[in-house]
């Protein structure tokens, strides 16, 4: 009797669950998907039990048909109180294509999801509208069948390891309005068929290895609002049809090999063409881009005078024109760019005199370095600009002492570059009052005397470049413990080619563990390398060449194992090269020549890989790459 009752109950339960069970194809597709995932840090898949897949986390079904309509399992979960980045390890099962009624698949940003995009995805998932697989570890090609997804509106597979060339069938996705293929390893040319995607609003193919030309008929994408083809190997001229993209507001073609004249559509707000080989002048019509907010034309071969129509770009906040061949004088109309925050004109052939641009009350960064400005003095109006905090005036022909008005600028100076001028006199004591300074470059001038002690008051200083002056005194103050720089501060120090002196062993370099670049070459330093040199845990480049340093090289040096460049030539180092140098695995450049080193060069990489010249001119070194040691 009991047994019969139990059987009844069991039967009733299975009938109930059967009624709630989802479609067998959906069930199979989802359980296969789950079984290919070895770990899910969100815990969502662990809750996929029973047969009612419509109730599972991240799954929703059509009310009428009971078929799975959406898979929403993005890695970044923003629902609860605290947003949370989860991860799935494993691979994307091709059984996902069994869910043939699915409209949305969001498996974006799961980080560890590998595998490939199922080959037959387009033949099976005919209802798919949104496919998000970005931010994973997917490999292999974008399958040809993708072109059959006639309802697909959004395709986001960016930031994976996808490869191969794009299928021409992409051009059949008539409903597509957003295409994100960026950050993969795609190659070959961009198929011309892509210009059939008449509904396309966003197209992002940046950071791949595309070659060839931009499709000539790109101008047919009349809905296009954002186009990013940057960081590829595209070449040839920018197609003229591009100027017909009247809805385009974002155009990023930077870092390719594009050539020919500058072309631009009329509604641009954000433009990046830097890092190409564009030539010719900026036409006056550029001034008609009334919506333009940010523009970079850096690193091209553009030339001629800057048109005064540029002053009409009333929305412009950032303008990069550096590393071109612009010449002539800067038009006075630049003073009308009242929204301008950043202006980089460095590395051109712009002549003086400079118009007074004191009306640029929003400008924070101005770089006029390396032109033909022959300023003779820092223009006083620069120091009156209410928001200016970063000034680049290297190679501007400035004479005289560092002017005191820099001490009282309306906005605290954060970056000051006066390298390669004709500055004379001392580094002023008041430099210590520029407490917001994080980059100070005064190299290649004729500055004399000691670095003022007040410099250690610059607690935010990251970059200090004073090379090639006539500075003297002990460098100890840079590394002193009490009242010195905070230990997480300086990352870049170049004091080379001066006349600094002192015993190097008394310098506690280990006090500055954040240093990545240190150049003290061509000075007058004596003594031995301190043990604390091993405390430079972040250092990548160390140059102490052409000093009077001596004694044995400390074994502790092996602890500076991030070193890529080590230059100790032209000193008086003695003894053997420590065996520990073999542990400097990242070393790419080494020079120990012209010292008094002896004995066998420790055998093995990386030491054996350097040219003989790295070891020449010592007292008695032998072994690879030099001649074998005599027994
Ligand atoms: C499906 O059903 C749920 C609850 O029964 C309801 O809230 C929802 O609006 C329905 N959706 C559609 C598309 O009918
Ligand atoms: C260090 O400075 C000297 C002289 O200024 C320069 O020639 C050398 O290239 C610099 N070393 C490194 C590693 O940059
Ligand atoms: C370098 O400094 C020393 C004093 O430390 C001085 O005697 C010497 O003349 C200076 N050399 C040059 C080239 O300025």
For residue range 263-292, what is the model confidence (pLDDT) as tens digits?
Answer: 999 999 999 999 999 999 999 999 999 999
Ligand 3 within 6 A of CB of 501: yes
What is the reported pLDDT for 394? 97
Q: Please indicate, yes or no, if residue 569 is contained in any of the structural domains.
A: no
Segment 270-274 long-range contacts (CB within 8 Å, at least 24 positions apart): 270/294, 270/295, 271/295, 271/296, 271/297, 272/230, 272/296, 273/297, 273/300, 274/298, 274/299, 274/300, 274/320
How many structural domains is the chain composed of?
1
What is the reported pLDDT for 15? 46
Q: How far is the CA of 527 from the centre of ligand 3 (A)?
A: 17
Half-sphere exposure of 197 (CA within 13 A, CB side): 29
What is the reported pLDDT for 600? 94
- Please report which confidence band the pLDDT of residue 398 belongs to, taking 50, 70 and 90 as the band edges: very high
In the chain, % helix, strand, coil (3-state, to 5) comes to 20, 25, 50
Q: How far is the CA of 433 from the centre of ligand 3 (A)?
A: 29
Omega before residue 474 within 30° of 0, cis: no
Tell which residue, 186, 282, 189, 265, has the closest CA to residue 227.
265
> Tokens at residue 62, please?
């059509």
pLDDT tens-digit readout, 213-236:
999 999 999 999 999 999 999 999
Ligand 2 atom 13: residue of nearest CA: 543
Secondary structure (3-state) at 95: helix
- The secondary structure of 6-24, three-state, reads HHHHHHHHHHHHHHHCCCH
Indicate if the alpha-carbon torsion angle 415, 419, 423, 426 is positive or negative.
positive
Q: How far is the CA of 189 from the centre of ligand 2 (A)?
A: 42
Q: Please indicate, yes or no, if residue 315 is contained in any of the structural domains.
A: yes
Q: Please indicate, yes or no, if residue 64 is contained in any of the structural domains.
A: no
What is the reported pLDDT for 103? 98
pLDDT tens-digit readout, 347-366:
999 998 999 999 999 999 99
Residue in 469, 475, 524 to alter for ligand 3 test, most ligand atoms within 8 A of Cβ: 524
What is the reported pLDDT for 506? 80
For the CA of 522, the nearest ligand:
2
For the CA of 501, the nearest ligand:
3
Task: Give the bridge partners for 37, in sequence order.
Answer: 90
- Please report which confidence band the pLDDT of residue 302 belongs to, taking 50, 70 and 90 as the band edges: very high
What is the reported pLDDT for 525? 94
What is the reported pLDDT for 513? 85
Q: How far is the CA of 468 from the centre of ligand 3 (A)?
A: 14
Tell which residue, 194, 189, 191, 135, has the closest CA to residue 162.
135
- Please report which confidence band the pLDDT of residue 477 belongs to, taking 50, 70 and 90 as the band edges: confident
Pairing between β-strand 59-61 and β-strand 88-91 as defined by DSSP bridges: unpaired
Ligand 2 atom with the smallest distance to the CA of 565 is 13
Cα distance between residue 568 and residue 594, in whole Å: 9
Q: How far is CA 549 from CA 34, 295, 328, 379, in A?
A: 64, 50, 49, 43
Residue 43, Cβ neighbours under 10 Å: how many? 9
Round the average pLDDT of the chain to a whole number and report it. Answer: 93
Q: What's the whole-number mean pLDDT along residues 295-318? A: 97
Q: Which of 4-13, 503-512, 620-629 has the lowest mean pLDDT?
A: 4-13
State the Cα angle at 63 between 61 and 67, rounded to 5°: 40
Q: Which of 189-193, 363-367, 602-606 has the lowest mean pLDDT?
A: 602-606
Q: How far is the CA of 492 from the centre of ligand 3 (A)?
A: 25
Residues sharing a CB contact under 8 Å with residue 286, sequence separation 6 or more, in sequence order: 262, 264, 307, 309, 310, 313
Do residues 268 and 289 lie in contact, with contact meaning Cβ atoms separated by under 8 Å? yes
Cα distance between residue 388 and residue 356, in whole Å: 15
Ligand 3 atom with the smallest distance to the CA of 473 is 5
What is the reported pLDDT for 411? 94
Ligand 3 within 6 A of CB of 499: yes
Q: How far is CA 263 from CA 245, 248, 427, in A?
A: 11, 13, 47
Q: Which of 70-74, 482-486, 520-524 has the lowest mean pLDDT?
A: 482-486
Domain that holds residue 360: 278-373
Q: Where are the beta strands (DSSP E) in 101-219?
A: 104-106, 113-114, 130-132, 139-140, 154-156, 161-165, 178-180, 185-189, 202-204, 209-212
Q: How far is the CA of 499 from the centre of ligand 3 (A)?
A: 6
Task: Give the bridge partners for 211, in sequence order.
Answer: 189, 233
What is the reported pLDDT for 402? 94
DSSP symbols for 216-237:
GGGGG-TT--EEE--SSEEEEE
Residue in 519, 525, 540, 565 to alter for ligand 2 test, most ligand atoms within 8 A of Cβ: 519
Total residue count of the chain as it appears in this document:
631
Q: Please indicate, yes or no, if residue 115 is contained in any of the structural domains.
A: no
Task: Give the bridge partners for 278, in sequence order.
Answer: 260
Q: What's the whole-number mean pLDDT along residues 440-447? A: 98
Ligand 2 within 6 A of CB of 296: no
Residue in 448, 472, 503 to alter for ligand 3 test, most ligand atoms within 8 A of Cβ: 472
Cα distance between residue 375 and residue 399, in whole Å: 8
Q: Please indicate, yes or no, if residue 18 is contained in any of the structural domains.
A: no
DSSP for residue 518: E
Q: Please indicate, yes or no, if residue 291 is contained in any of the structural domains.
A: yes
What is the reported pLDDT for 467? 98
Cα distance between residue 441 and residue 435, in whole Å: 15
Q: Please indicate, yes or no, if residue 282 is contained in any of the structural domains.
A: yes
Cα distance between residue 254 and residue 275, in whole Å: 6
Q: Where are the beta strands (DSSP E) in 198-300?
A: 202-204, 209-212, 226-228, 233-237, 250-252, 257-260, 270-272, 277-280, 294-296
Q: Is the pLDDT of residue 383 over 60?
A: yes
What is the reported pLDDT for 511? 77
- CATH code (residue 309): 3.80.10.10
Q: How far is the CA of 628 from the centre of ligand 2 (A)?
A: 32
Q: Is the pLDDT of residue 612 over 60?
A: yes
Residue 428: Cβ-neighbour burial (10 angstroms; 0-12, 13-18, 19+): middle
For the CA of 448, the nearest ligand:
3
Q: Please indicate, yes or no, if residue 224 is contained in any of the structural domains.
A: no
Q: What's the whole-number mean pLDDT along residues 115-134? A: 97
Ligand 3 atom 10: residue of nearest CA: 499
Ligand 2 atom with the smallest distance to the CA of 522 is 4
For the CA of 65, the nearest ligand:
1
Do residues 440 and 460 lie in contact, with contact meaning Cβ atoms separated by under 8 Å? no
Tell which residue, 235, 346, 227, has the closest CA to residue 298.
346
CA-atom Rg of the chain in angstroms: 32
> Tokens at residue 485, please?
């720089």
Q: Is the pLDDT of residue 526 over 50?
A: yes
């Amino acid at each position: 009797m009991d047994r019969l009752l139990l059987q009844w109950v069991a039967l009733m339960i299975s009938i109930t669950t059967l009624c709630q069970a989802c479609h067998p194809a959906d069930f199979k597709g989802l359980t296969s998907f789950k079984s290919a995932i070895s770990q899910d840090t969100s815990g969502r898949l662990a809750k996929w039990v029973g047969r009612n897949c419509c109730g599972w986390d991240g799954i929703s079904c059509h009310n009428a048909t009971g078929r799975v309509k959406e898979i929403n399992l993005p890695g970044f979960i923003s629902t609860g109180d605290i947003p949370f980045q989860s991860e799935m390890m494993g691979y994307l099962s091709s059984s996902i294509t069994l869910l043939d009624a699915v409209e949305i698949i969001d498996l974006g940003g799961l980080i560890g999801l590998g595998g490939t995009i199922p080959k037959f995805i387009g033949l099976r998932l005919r209802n798919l509208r949104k496919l998000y697989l970005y931010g994973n570890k997917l490999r292999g090609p974008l399958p040809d069948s993708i072109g059959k997804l006639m309802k697909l509106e959004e395709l986001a597979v960016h930031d994976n390891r996808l490869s191969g060339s794009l299928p021409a069938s992409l051009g059949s996705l008539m409903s597509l309005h957003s295409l994100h293929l960026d950050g993969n390893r795609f190659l070959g040319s961009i198929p011309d068929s892509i210009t059939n995607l008449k509904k396309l609003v966003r197209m992002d193919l940046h950071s791949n290895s595309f070659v060839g030309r931009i499709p000539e008929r790109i101008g047919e994408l009349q809905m296009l609002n954002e186009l990013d083809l940057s960081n590829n190997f595209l070449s040839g001229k920018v197609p003229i049809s591009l100027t017909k993209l009247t809805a385009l507001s974002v155009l990023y073609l930077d870092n390719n090999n594009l050539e020919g004249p500058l072309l631009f559509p009329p509604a641009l707000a954000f433009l990046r063409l830097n890092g190409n080989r564009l030539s010719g002048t900026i036409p006056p019509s550029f001034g008609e881009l009334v919506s333009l907010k940010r523009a970079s034309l850096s690193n091209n071969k553009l030339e001629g005078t800057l048109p005064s129509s540029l002053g009409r770009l009333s929305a412009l906040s950032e303008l990069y024109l550096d590393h071109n061949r612009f010449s002539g004088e800067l038009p006075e109309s630049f003073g009308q760019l009242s929204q301008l925050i950043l202006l980089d004109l460095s590395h051109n052939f712009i002549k003086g005199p400079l118009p007074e641009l004191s009306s640029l009350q929003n400008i924070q960064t101005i770089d006029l370095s390396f032109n033909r400005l022959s300023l003779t003095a820092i223009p006083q109006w620069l120091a009156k600009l209410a928001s200016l905090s970063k000034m680049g005036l290297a190679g501007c022909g400035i004479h005289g002492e560092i002017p005191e008005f820099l001490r009282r600028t309306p906005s605290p100076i954060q970056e000051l570059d006066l390298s390669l001028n004709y500055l004379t006199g001392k580094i002023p004591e008041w430099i210590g009052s520029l407490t917001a300074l994080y980059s100070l470059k005064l190299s290649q001038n004729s500055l004399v005397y000691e670095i003022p002690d007040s410099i250690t008051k610059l607690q935010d200083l990251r970059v200090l470049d004073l090379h090639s002056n006539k500075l003297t005194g002990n460098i100890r103050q840079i590394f002193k413990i009490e009242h010195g720089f905070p230990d997480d501060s300086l990352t870049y120090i170049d004091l080379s080619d001066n006349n600094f002196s002192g015993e190097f062993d008394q310098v506690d370099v280990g006090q500055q563990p954040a240093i990545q670049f240190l150049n003290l070459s061509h000075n007058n330093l004596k003594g031995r390398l301190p043990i604390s040199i091993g405390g430079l845990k972040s250092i990548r480049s160390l140059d102490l060449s052409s000093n009077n340093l001596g004694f044995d090289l400390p074994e502790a040096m092996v602890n500076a194992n991030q070193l890529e460049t080590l230059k100790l030539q032209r000193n008086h180092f003695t003894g053997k090269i420590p065996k520990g140098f073999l542990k400097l695995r990242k070393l790419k450049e080494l020079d120990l020549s012209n010292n008094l080193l002896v004995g066998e060069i420790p055998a093995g990489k990386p030491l054996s890989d350097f040219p003989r010249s790295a070891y020449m001119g010592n007292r008695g070194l032998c072994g690879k790459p030099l001649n074998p040691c005599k027994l």
